[in-house]
Structure 1
Amino acid sequence: MSYQPKRMRFGAFFAPFHNDRTSPTFALERDFELIQHLDLRDFDEAWIGEHHSGAYECIASPEVFIATAAERTRNIRFGTGVSSLSYHQPLVLADRIAQLDHQTRGRLIFGVGPGQLIADAYMMGIDPQRLRERMEESLDVLVRLLDGETVTAKTDWFTLNEARMHILPYQANLEIAVASAISPAGARLAGKHGVAMLSVAASSPQGFKALADSWQICEARASEFGKSVNRDTWRVVTPFHIAETREQARRDLEFGLLDMFNYFHKFGGELFPQVKDLDEAIDVWTTGGLGAFGVGIVGTPDDLIAHIEKLQNQSGGFGSFLSLVHNAADFEATKKSYDLVAQYVMPHFQHSNINRTASLDWAASNADRFMAEYMGGIEKAIKVHDDDMASKGKKVG
């Protein structure tokens, strides 16, 4: 039986995806507004990406974005989704993260990864085949810096001389999460440092297959380095759009799914298929998926519940489920999709209604007894009144 969290957390992973005809100012404001909507619907987390090419994934600094989003929300936590470690001097990044943790009063999760877009690495003169190696070199010192250590280290791309953070994070134990996709690199690194794991391609065919081994790899590495890991900190990401009916969900995608397919084909080349119409796009998205973007769920709350249960069974269980945010549906339909998650999907996995259901069943099974006692109480009150009137010589009725 897979691990079942007492209360599964829900959140959203913002790459984000906005077509290149949309004003970037408008796009950013739309993301802020959606996060405010999620905060009001009791979603737990919002993860914000870092990208520097391609136009669609148009947030360059998750820290700058989170600083504003935190001011507009009350409870939702924020993850850097992810900070691309290969692009940053570790001490400078650590200082930015610590400052942001103070500004958010501890609502921050430090999500890290190697950097996903090869175009980003190319512009910076970084060998794409060294991204994961650089990520490990950076995280090895980041965990020490964030813990208050003084670090001296030298690699072929950064040097630290008696480096220490002059301000530590707001949280005593700032949570760190390592992105893991198809290769075992993320799982190995998460285990090495005893930190959380973020499976960003969980619903892609290869990513889904990798779920079966990811936690075992993570646990084995944790044991090797004397660390411990907890499934409750494991997060998996899936794209979806749901509506009250499957037909409505499909109609909603007329807004932008084809446009999204065109983007992936332009940016990813022949790895991503060209499609001729919406039906073919939905068929591809819900079966083979869009590479690391994953297989999408298009349907009802019950369809999404079934998918999450499938992911739990494949992985052995995790603590958080994140939606990969997209603009395949218009904004109102998108908000409605998240409303349905909050209304029906979250309660299923958070066991919100166990006592409510038990209370209703108990009241229903005792309804006849309770009603008899209720009516008996009314009859008793009438008799007390009648007896009182009779004792005073007054006519009753």
Structure 2
Amino acid sequence: MTNQPGKRLRFGAFFAPFHNNRTSPTFALERDLDLIKWLDHLDYDEAWIGEHHSGAYECIASPEVFIATAAERTRNIRLGTGVSSLSYHQPLILADRIAQLDHQTRGRIMFGVGPGQLIADAYMMGVDPQKLRDRMGESLDVLVKLLNGETVTASTDWFTLNEARMHILPYQENLEIAVASAISPSGARLAGQYGAAMLSVAASSPKGFEALADSWSICESKAAEYSQTVDRKTWRVVAPFHIAETREQARRDLEYGLMDMFNYFHKFGGDLFPQVKDLDEAIEIWCTGGLGAFGVGLVGTPDDLVDHIKNLQQQSGGFGAFLSLAHNAASYEATKKSYELLAQYVMPHFQHSNDNRTASLEWAASNADRFMAEYMGGIERAIQQHEEETRQKQQKAG
């Protein structure tokens, strides 16, 4: 069941998102919508929107509501829940919302699913954090059936379905479901079991990077066990970065908000996340040890990012899409420039969009002397022809 991803690597962004608690939430939401519109303008393939209910920074509570607005402001970019926390939702209600959204967007929806990332969310809802993954498996099992048009009767200790069926199926014949996978193998196992896509959300963290080497084989093995088919082209790998035209400029850009982000992670995650004394230390930690699931960052130039993605490809054996973990460590203008540089210089490398242009340039250059000789010869013949015609007219006139 081994396979290789397609020739064209897709690009996108994964929005938790991250906004400090001094920023107006109205302003923060608008900025995220504007950035997705910018990504659509730059021809990015997809954007994924998270769901969180505590901690203030990751301030989107309903990815479906957000996506409905984003879809109205964009033309081509595909939009995914990144991810819907299955442990917190009655499956039939969630399936109905996703199907409706798929119709409203004319099939631009991707359904990303996960157990729920923030323990504070689970605590407020009275959900045992140790049961989050069990709940996710129970929910996903019936969601797949419901979205396929089946009638489901099921009973667990947290939801009941009695002859449940969706009265409106998704717009897409095969709505893509993507399972979040971090460090543990549970996400890869579920993706394989249901023939789903996989979202490696901590791919650049030290443990997440190490897990990349085995993630696909785990997914394939589980797919074989359940007679499912999986495809590397549906595998997304998420990593944070910020690039500029020079490494020095990229580091200066992070003066805007990287320290603030470090302070947030320390407050929210406690001693698992380090306190830093200055920007240099913050960049050093971010680019080496990372920030937990936030991953190891890349701060540099487009060429540095090309090498970074190549490293992820080599470690994983290949995937279908690279997603930026969106952040606000740089100003909005610097962030937009970072995504623009990726579109201008990084995308062409992995999408082979300039292969024919390069070949054409090299062919033209290698034949330049011959072409120029023929060109100049043509000019010379035209001059001679003109002079001959002029002499003949003068002779007739004389």
Same fold per superposition (TM over 0.5): yes
Inter-partner Cα distance in structure 1 for 2:5 and 2:50: 28
Show CA shifts across 1:341-366 (max 9, x none): 00111111001110000000000001
Partner of residue 255, structure 1: 256
TM-superposed CA distance for 1:46, in Å, is: 0.5
C-alpha distance in 2 between matches for 1:216 and 1:364: 45
Matches within 5 A, 1:152-301: 152-301=153-302
Partner of 2:250: helix, strand, or coil? helix
1:395 CA displacement: 9.2
Q: Contact 2:234 / 2:320 at 8 angstroms: preserved in 1? A: yes
For 1:171 and 1:187, the matched residues in 2 are separated by 24
Kindly indicate whether the alpha-carbon contact (under 8 Å) linking 2:3 and 2:231 is maintained by their aligned counterparts in 1. Answer: no
**Cα distance in 1 between the residues matched to 2:177 and 2:5:** 22
Contact kept in structure 1, 2:302 and 2:341, CA below 8 Å: yes
Determine the structure 2 residue equivalent to 1:359. 360
Letter in 2 for 1:377: G
Give the aligned partner of residue 132 of structure 1.
133
The answer to whether structure 1 residue 320 and structure 2 residue 321 are counterparts is yes
- What amino acid is aligned across from residue 157 of structure 1 in structure 2? W
CA displacement at 1:385 relative to structure 2: 2.5
Give the aligned partner of residue 73 of structure 2: 72
TM-fit CA distance, 1:389: 3.0
Residue pair 1:2, 1:313 contacting (<8 A) in 2 also: no
Q: 1:50 offset after TM fit, Å?
A: 0.2
Aligned match of 1:104: 105
Q: Which residue is 1:57 aligned to?
A: 58
Distance in 2 separating the partners of 1:104 and 1:120: 29
RMSD between superposed Cα atoms in Å = 1.4
- Listed one character per residue, the Cα deviations across residues 147-184 of structure 1 (whole Å, up to 9, x for unaligned) are 11111111111111111111111100001100000111
Distance 2:271 2:255 in 1: 24
Bigger mean CA deviation after superposition, 300-309 or 385-394: 385-394
Residues in 2 aligned to 1:231 and 1:365: alpha-carbon distance in whole angstroms? 39
Q: How many angstroms does 1:382 deviate by?
A: 2.2
Q: Percentage identity across aligned positions? A: 81
Within 2, Cα distance between the matches of 1:376 and 1:277? 67
| 1:384 matched to 2:389 | no
Q: Which residue of the partner structure matches residue 29 of structure 1?
A: 30
Correspondence list, 1:15-26, <5 A: 15-26=16-27
1:2 CA drift (Å): 9.6
Counting matched residue pairs gives 396
Counterpart secondary structure, 1:83: strand
* Separation (CA, whole Å) in 2 of partners of 1:395 and 1:367: 42
* Offset, 1:383: 2.5
Q: Taking structure 2 as the reference length, what is the TM-score of the superposition?
A: 0.98
In the TM superposition, residue 112 of structure 1 has moved relative to its aligned partner by 0.3
Q: Mind listing any 5+ residue stretches in structure 1 that lack a counterpart?
A: none
Structure-1 separation of matches of 2:204 and 2:374: 55
CA distance in 1, matches of 2:295, 2:198: 18
Shift of 1:22: 0.2
Q: Specify every segment of 5 or more residues in structure 2 that has no aligned partner in the other structure, as ranges.
A: none
SS of residue in 1 equivalent to 2:287: helix
CA distance in 1, matches of 2:3, 2:378: 51
Contact 2:5 2:231 in 1 (8 A): no
Deviation at 1:127, TM superposition (A): 0.4
Kept in 2: contact 1:2–1:316 (CA 8 A):
no
For 2:157 and 2:197, the matched residues in 1 are separated by: 28
SS of 2:99's partner is helix
Say if 2:10 and 2:322, in contact at 8 Å, map to a contact too.
Answer: yes
Deviations 1:210-259 (A, max 9, x none): 11111011000000000010001000000111111111111111110010
- Counterpart CA distance in 2 for 1:121 and 1:254 is 34
Give the ranges of 4+ consecutive aligned residues of structure 1 lying more than 6 Å apart after TM superposition. none
Offset, 1:307? 0.9
